Amino acid sequence: MGLLHSFESSGNWLFKRRGWLPVVLFLLAVPVIFTTDYNKIGDNVKLYTGITAVLVSFIGLLIRAYTVATTPKGTSGRNTDEQIAESLNSTGIYGVVRHPLYLGNYLMWIGIVIYTLNWYFVITVSLMYWLYYERIMFAEERFLERKFGQVYLDWSLKAPAFIPSFKHLVKASLPFSMTTVLRREYSGVLNTVIGFLFVNVLRYYAINGEFKFFAWQGYLLGVTLVLVLILRTLKRTGRLKEEGRS
């Protein structure tokens, strides 16, 4: 098998299993937290790094929200079995970066990783993410190139793969839909909240030698779960359904 086909084949294999990556990060975070000497990190550093971590993840959530809220059906689905694209979307955020959902995912996850206060872990996860998703992006783009030909090539020359560039910004083909965001992104918000709480509880144990769940953590998790259950129910009953939206 040639290198080109090997990259594409492994990319498609990883594409079907990309949902497992957050689980791997959770597992890796445990030994990282327990081997980090938090006593050598000042309180101000912990505070400002924590704020930065939350902001980074929030920006990732915003990128994902804007992407799904302004793209038509068939261009940014959550399919896991195979590559699907009914049309090539090159407007809105797709005129700025070719893989905005993966960019949003990276920022969401790396914010949680930053919260561990271990910069070696941040660098390691960033490299892992790039190696993992580089193959997936390669396979997706090979699929798009075969399906859309020169139209895809012209778009790919203007929009960077992962680092945004606003030189060729074009208004999105659809207006922003908060309904789409509520229907599709509640699980990402829940996973992000759980991720931060998970790291926070383990960090407290690593510093103080005991597990402790504070009231504010319970309120945050409780409110998030209630909102998720409400949105999930509305989605299943079809009350958040929109025509022409994925």
Asked if 182 and 240 count as a contact pair (C-beta separation under 8 A), the reply is: yes
Between 77 and 63, residue with greater pLDDT: 63
How many angstroms separate the most distant Cα atoms in the chain? 60
Q: How confident is the model at residue 63 (pLDDT cuts 50, 70, 90)?
A: very high
CATH numbers and ranges of domains, the chain: 3-174 (1.20.120.1630)
pLDDT at 82 over 60: no
Between 8 and 79, residue with greater pLDDT: 8
What residues does 245 pair with on adjacent strands?
A: 72
Distance in angstroms (rounded) separating the CA atoms of residues 166 and 172: 13
* Averaged pLDDT, 10-28: 74
Q: How confident is the model at residue 5 (pLDDT cuts 50, 70, 90)?
A: low
Q: What is the pLDDT of residue 85?
A: 61
Residue 170 has φ and ψ, to the nearest 5°, of: -125, 140
pLDDT tens profile 149-175: 888 888 888 889 899 988 878 888 888
- The single-letter code of the amino acid at 111 is G
Q: What is the pLDDT of residue 132?
A: 86
Asked if 3 and 83 count as a contact pair (C-beta separation under 8 A), the reply is: no
The whole-model pTM stands at 0.88
* Averaged pLDDT, 100-115: 95
pLDDT at 235 over 70: yes
**With 0-12 CB in 10 A as exposed, 13-18 as middle and 19+ as buried, what is 68?**
buried
- The single-letter code of the amino acid at 44 is N
pLDDT at 221 over 70: yes
Q: What is the pLDDT of residue 77?
A: 46
pLDDT, mean over the chain? 87
> Which residue, among 38, 184, 201, 220, has the nearest Cα to 112 in the 3D structure?
201
